[in-house]
């Protein structure tokens, strides 16, 4: 599986790709620049919306707009005007944290977490935003709250804490939106990179991006490594299935930690890549607020 560069986005910290089926667009963010990208695979056009704060995650909503996890909280984002409106504040008074990755569960609740800035450890948390705007914190003491998704039957939740170098799995009570019985799913050795964003495909396998690992890996539900997509860049952040039949796997990358020599060695760092791995994703769940 050899990925192709579909957009030389040159994103400083590209993250959070997600398919908006209603608009037939691939959304992703450039976190520290506070940008939301709306990429049209048919035309190659990439529209950039400026958000006035770092933005870590984005998802479509049942209303047709978008919900974002951004610095200081959860917001709605109007895709036509670019205007934002606050849903709920998150860690507004803590200048040493920011929102990071997130995703929507089967009941339309948006889960997203925070991370410490400047190397601050165990400062992050994981939050659940309900459709009525209520926020619940489920985890504290997180280094870098990252990839999150659920098994096809809704009974398990997978969760990556990048700083810990581990992906964990929880039992998930879908009706109540409650997690329990946390245990390790897989540990990534440091010489192979750090676990970043993840998604679960239609077969229940987990696709994990490896920061400093130059790859996306597919793991079976028993934790066995099943496939590897190698990238020509080191800072790989997350992947998402898109396209009309959800068989295109899009991959975001970054250059934020590369020095001048590193950027010369990796001229495609920050680009958006695509590969067709022969399996399909699941329809993107929408925030029900």
Domain annotation for the chain: domains and CATH numbers: 4-275 (2.120.10.30)
What value does the mean pLDDT take over residues 157-178? 97
Is this model's pTM higher than 0.85 or not?
yes
Q: How confident is the model at residue 119 (pLDDT cuts 50, 70, 90)?
A: confident
The residues that are catalytic are 196
Are 29 and 58 within 8 A, CB to CB? Answer: yes
Q: Give per-residue pLDDT as tens, 197-249.
A: 999 999 999 999 999 999 999 999 999 999 999 999 999 999 999 999 999 99
The CA distance from 165 to 159, in Å, is 11
196 and 188 Cβ atoms separated by less than 8 Å: no
| Interacting residues of 217 by C-beta distance below 8 A, sequence separation 6+ | 207, 208, 210, 225, 227, 228, 229
pLDDT score, position 155 = 98
Picking from 276, 218, 205, the residue whose alpha carbon sits closest to that of residue 246 is 276
- Report pLDDT digits (tens) over 42-61: 999 999 999 989 999 999 99
pLDDT of residue 118: 81
Per-residue pLDDT, 83: 96
Give the span between the Cα atoms of 186 and 169, in whole angstroms. Answer: 9
The tokens for 105 are 């569960």
Q: What is the pLDDT of residues 129-165, one digit of tens each?
A: 999 999 999 999 999 999 999 999 999 999 999 999 9
Residue 133's pLDDT is what?
97
Residue 121 has pLDDT above 90, yes or no: no
pLDDT bracket for residue 1 (50, 70, 90): confident
Q: Average pLDDT, whole number, for the chain?
A: 97
pLDDT in tens, 18-32: 999 999 999 999 999
Residue 280 has pLDDT above 90, yes or no: yes
Question: Band of the pLDDT at 278, cuts 50, 70, 90?
Answer: very high
């Amino acid at each position: 599986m050899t990925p192709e560069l579909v957009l030389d986005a040159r994103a400083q910290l590209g993250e959070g790709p997600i398919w908006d089926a209603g608009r037939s667009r691939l959304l992703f963010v450039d976190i520290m620049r506070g940008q939301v990208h709306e990429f049209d695979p048919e035309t190659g056009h990439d529209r950039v919306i400026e958000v006035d704060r770092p933005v870590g995650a984005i998802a479509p909503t049942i209303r047709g707009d978008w919900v974002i996890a951004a610095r200081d909280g959860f917001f709605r984002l109007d895709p036509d005007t670019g205007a934002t409106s606050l849903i709920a504040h998150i860690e507004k008074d803590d200048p040493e944290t920011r929102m990071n990755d997130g995703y929507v569960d089967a009941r339309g609740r948006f889960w997203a977490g925070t991370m410490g800035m400047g190397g601050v450890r165990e400062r992050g948390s994981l939050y659940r935003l309900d459709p009525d705007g209520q926020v619940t914190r489920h985890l504290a003491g997180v280094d870098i709250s990252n990839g999150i998704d659920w098994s096809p039957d809704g009974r398990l939740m997978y969760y990556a804490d990048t700083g810990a170098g581990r992906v964990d799995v929880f039992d998930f009570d879908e009706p109540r939106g409650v997690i329990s019985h946390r245990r390790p799913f897989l540990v990534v050795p440091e010489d192979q990179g750090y676990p970043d964003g993840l998604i679960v495909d239609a077969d229940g396998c987990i696709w994990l991006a490896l920061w400093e690992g130059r790859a996306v890996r597919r793991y079976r539900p028993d934790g066995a490594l099943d496939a590897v997509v190698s990238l020509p860049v080191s800072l790989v952040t997350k992947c998402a299935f898109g396209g009309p039949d959800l068989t295109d796997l899009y991959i975001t990358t970054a250059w934020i930690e590369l020095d001048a020599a590193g950027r010369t060695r990796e001229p495609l760092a920050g680009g958006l890549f695509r590969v067709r791995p022969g399996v399909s994703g699941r329809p993107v769940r929408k925030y029900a607020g």
